Amino acid sequence: MEKYPTYPISTVAPDKEPVPLPPPLQYRLYKTRFSGLFGFIILGLVTGMPWCWFGPISTNAAENFAISLDQVNWLGNIVSCIYIPVSLTVPVFCSRFGIRRCAEVGVVMMLISAWVRYAGTITSLSSQSAYALLMFGQIFSAISQPVFQVLGPKYSEKWFDLKGRTTATMVIAIANPIGSALGQLLSPLAGTVRQSVLILAIISTAATPALFFISDAPPSPPTYAGSKPPQTLTSLFRAMFGLAVPPEAYMSPRERTDFLIVTTLFGILVGATNALSVLSGQWFEPAGYSDTTSGLMGASLLLSGIVTSIVTAPLFDRIFTHRLGVTLKILIPIVACGWLSLVWAVRPNNTAALFAIMVIIGTCSVTMLPVGLELGVELTRNADASAALLWCSGNLFGVMLILAEGALRAPPTANPPYNMHDALIFHGSVIIAFGTLVFFVRARQARRELDEAMAGQGVVPSSPTVGAGVVSSRRMHEAESVRDEDAEPLEMALTKGSEESEEWLAGGSKQGS
């Protein structure tokens, strides 16, 4: 049988008095957490605007810059393509330099993107040169956007306790969709295409001071999870493939399966919304709707979901704390049916029905956004790496959907010309097919169980030494695992650890006497 060492509360040399350890670390909350949350919200809003800015005005942008609709689509696609590798580097950069330094890089990229994009609107430029500058602007915005999305769960874990963590994750997560909604509202209302790009640059510059509200970590953590050092992206990949990892990074086969399903579901739902944001004008304008109405439809999806998320996120923190998996199983079928219904709903003079469908999809989809992010952390205990993979999946599916649906656009000889009926069939069918995976998710919330047990025991395991006693590494491993259904409850593991501590101390006392 494998032997597990125990760790005493202090080191006692044979000829010296015991050296007491410093007082145990206390979990605390700081009011400055809200200022950092505000900074993440503002920067998430602004970095969410550029990638879908040209969606509602795609036809006008193609005419103004003498480019094709596919080239306009690539102004959104390029953001998703660059987002994928950048999102995977954010956890690596954050583990080395911290949240604040990552935010500084994101803000610099945001400013560069804003004014490079505006430089592309100079009328003396050729269409190729203008398009190149627009594309470079979008590339820089693709570097800034994932910073304030991927780090959201990490920030909430570092600064918020169990009663506010999901709400904080929700607020940061929906900032980007709010920015997308505002982008779809503002871009067709800002006058000409060139004027709208200037407005986007001004908004980006005005948001820069929000950076100074963001800090790395509080002096004392709010929870056990917040006290632990960050894990690496590599450890998550190794855990997913069943390779050797530290105990705190271990994932059971069931957890690996659940995380793979959650990543796929998150990706297809986020990708579906991304496709709408980029293709909204091309979906609805052939059916007789203006670019303003197309933008409003996309915005109604996001804004209705945002309102619902503001109401539901506190409920997940305080009431439905262990019901994240059930939530997915209820909402995903509704969303899938909503997307499929667009096959019949996108037709002339059907505005009311389309807005109703958008509201239903948005109410369910955006509500699941923080649920998916929190569930990813629950399954992996790795906040920034799990968020990176989830958002990476969303952008990957978004690119694939946009490219596939662009290829399914009807020819100019169709009735109506350039309609996207086949694309809508493909869109709804893919979501229905992948949505069935939700019924295979168990979704055990291991991180929350561990945090609740540690808080209940008054334990602060920032090191092998816990509280005022001794916990063997075997019991500490059992407490951190909570992975196997047959494993001991956390409270039992910790209680046994305390008993082992007393036995160890009693044995030491007898030897000393």
Least confident of 117-126, 288-297, 336-345, 494-503: 494-503
Confidence of residue 250 (pLDDT cuts 50, 70, 90): confident
> Number of helices and strands (H, E) in the chain?
18, 2
Which of 280, 273, 279, 274 minimizes the C-alpha distance to 338? 273
Which of 35, 135, 47 minimizes the C-alpha distance to 87? 47
Range list of H helices, 160-290 = 165-189, 193-206, 224-227, 233-240, 253-284
Measured CA to CA in angstroms, residue 483 lies from 202, 243, 323, 421 at distances of 50, 16, 17, 46
Note whether 244 and 476 are within 8 A (CB): no
Least confident of 9-18, 189-198, 358-367, 398-407: 9-18
| Complete DSSP assignment for 272-339 | HHHHHHHHHHHHHGGGT--HHHHHHHHHHHHHHHHHHHHHHHHHHHHTSTT-HHHHHHHHHHHHHHHH
The single-letter code of the amino acid at 434 is: F
Handedness of CA 342, 347, 351, 353 (dihedral sign): negative
Give the Cα-Cα-Cα angle 247, 252, 257 (nearest 5 degrees): 140
Confidence of residue 507 (pLDDT cuts 50, 70, 90): very low
Encoding tokens for residue 317?
A: 């923190």
pLDDT tens digit string along 336-367?
999 999 999 999 889 899 999 999 998 888 88
Counting Cβ atoms within 10 Å, is residue 184 exposed (0-12), middle (13-18) or buried (19+)? buried
More confident residue, 123 or 27: 123
CA distance 506 to 148: 52
Least confident of 30-34, 113-117, 419-423: 30-34
pTM over 0.75: no
pLDDT tens digit string along 28-75?
778 888 889 999 999 999 998 887 788 778 778 888 888 888 888 888
Encoding tokens for residue 233?
A: 């992206």
| Residue 214: pLDDT over 60 | yes
Note whether 161 and 29 are within 8 A (CB): yes
* Bridge partners, residue 465, by sequence: 470
